[in-house]
Amino acid sequence: MSRRVLRVTGLARVGMVMVAGALAGCAGSANGGPMALTPASSASCKSMKVEMNRLLASGVQGSIEARQAGRKVSAASGQRADRYNALLNQYIGSRCHE
């Protein structure tokens, strides 16, 4: 009998990052309700989604995966990864995905 080795693909890793971000976003709301979008940010669900898609198209998921694997990334890549995670937390916390 042969044993199958479970391999985590890049897409699965991105999914794990998104789930972690969703959990962090949900934890950010004390009463379990949606977090308000801050007026100073002038962000809307649509604008956050557009920016997240732009970051994904630029390859930010590779930077996120590299960080999780303990590899070094450039300062610019790290900042893009931080921005994506912040947007994702705000997007999920504001319940834009519902």
Kindly indicate the confidence band of residue 31, based on its pLDDT and cuts at 50, 70 and 90. Answer: very low
Listed residue (60, 97, 58, 56) closest to 78, CA to CA: 60
pLDDT tens by residue, 13-24:
555 555 555 555
Q: What is the pTM of this model?
A: 0.59
Residue 45 and residue 35 in contact, taking contact as beta carbons nearer than 8 Å: no
Statement: residue 25 has pLDDT above 80: no
Residue 81 and residue 63 in contact, taking contact as beta carbons nearer than 8 Å: yes
Quote the CA–CA distance of 93 and 80 in Å, as a whole number: 20
Residue 49 and residue 92 in contact, taking contact as beta carbons nearer than 8 Å: no
Single-letter residue type at 16? M
Ranked by mean pLDDT, which of 11-15, 72-76, 93-97 comes out on top? 72-76
Give domain limits for the chain.
41-98
Listed residue (45, 42, 36) closest to 88, CA to CA: 45
Statement: residue 37 has pLDDT above 70: no
- The residue ranking higher by pLDDT, 24 or 39, is 24
